[in-house]
Copies of this chain bind each other. A is one copy, B any other.
Amino acid sequence: MSFVDTSYTAAESEAMDAALTAALAGPRGANPLVGAVILSPDGEQLATGYHRGAGTAHAEADAISEARKKGIDIVGTTMVVTLEPCNHVGRTGPCAQAIIAAGIAKVIYAVDDPHDPAAGGARTLSAAGVEVISGLEGEKALDLNRDWFDAVAAKRPFVTLHIAQTLDSRIAAVDGTSQWISCPESLADNHGLRGLIDAILVGTGTVLVDDPRLTARTPDGELSAHQPIRAVMGLRDVPQDAAVRGNDGRFVHLPTRDPAEALGMLFEKGVRHLMVEGGSSILSTFLAADLVDELIVYLAPTLLGSGTPALNDLGITTLADAQHWSWDEAGGGAVRILGNDLRLHLRSPRGAASIIKNSIPGSEAAEYVTGGH
């Protein structure tokens, strides 16, 4: 459901900018980044909220909760939020009902929920007498979650690609050894992600060479509470004694070499956030097909000089066709130091023109003219 664009007060525009900034604190994945600000009738920002990822409070509920903690009366206030409030009863209850129950008088949101329009919360809010306006900073809000909107539109999971590489982008030495290129802190970070996603995917080649378990584990080696589906993609058989099979029924073999088909199969199984772990051919296949939304690279300060490169072919033959990824500040920053490694976080070229790119410190463009090396 779309509402008419209108003119906004300076306080409303500022609140939307604050909500967009707040949204960036959340992680990418099955759910979009969302931020919300509660505005008093005289334009004061009373409380801010954001969504911390699947299974946690939505941004609107987070802002209402923040206001309650502060003991602020929010009856008659305006909720400024980067995405249309939801109407469905998921793990966290519908935001439309929470907004109505809180006595909020007006809702300004940036972009519509991309799912079935009838399911959006705007109609429910409006029917309950809440004034609803949409479109403020709509472009920025779309950019903020460009990759997620793409995944929703394509009815495929949001795809995170994981690479653990040396400085010269090798993921294994000549003799196949790869344990461990990353430092313990990077391994722990990766296992933390495994405990949040719906599924993890490797190729049959990786199973045959490394025999990984692909479970999410805590630093002391225990299984995490939440385990992802373990997907192996490829036409070769997965050995009966492969560790990835486990005995919890969460293993699945996807007998295809087509990444789009693999994503379709996983979406059918309810997977909304997939992490692709390797090897080189699988990583390259997903990247070449433009089916990666987020890239997480653990970069160790080591050199091998030879061995298995992280990527082996993207179908690119000239520099002008290189894939230009964007640094992504969402969910903890574009560049982080993890132990002795760097953790790099990037968005797909589809999301390149987003507000996030401009938020990297020191990224001011500068003119520099040279005529050769």
Contact = CB atoms under 8 A, between A and B. Distances in A.
B301 A211 contact: no
A179 B370 CA distance: 10
A366 B187 CA distance: 11
A90 interface: no
Interface string A353-373: 000010011111111111111
A21 B179 CA distance: 35
B301 A305 contact: no
A362 B344 contact: no
Interface in A167-188: 167-170, 172-175, 177-179, 181, 184-185, 187-188
Interface string A284-326: 1001100000000100011111110111111111111111111
B311 A309 contact: no
Contacts of A158: none
Contacts of A361: 337
A336 to B, nearest CB: 8
Nearest to A315: B305
Interface in A261-282: 277
A318 B169 contact: no
Given A319-B179, A340-B363, A167 B219 contact: no
Query: For chain A, which range describes its interface: under 10, 10 to 19, 20 to 34, or 35 or more residues?
Result: 35 or more
A213 interface: yes
Nearest to A243: B372
B213 A373 contact: yes
A166 to B, nearest CB: 7
B166 A168 contact: no
Contacts of A304: 314, 316, 319, 322-323
A309 B167 contact: no
A96 B219 CA distance: 55
A177 B318 CA distance: 6
A319 B210 contact: no
Interface of A: 166-170, 172-175, 177-179, 181, 184-185, 187-188, 191, 210-214, 217, 219-221, 243, 277, 284, 287-288, 297, 301-307, 309-327, 335-340, 342, 344, 346, 357, 360-373
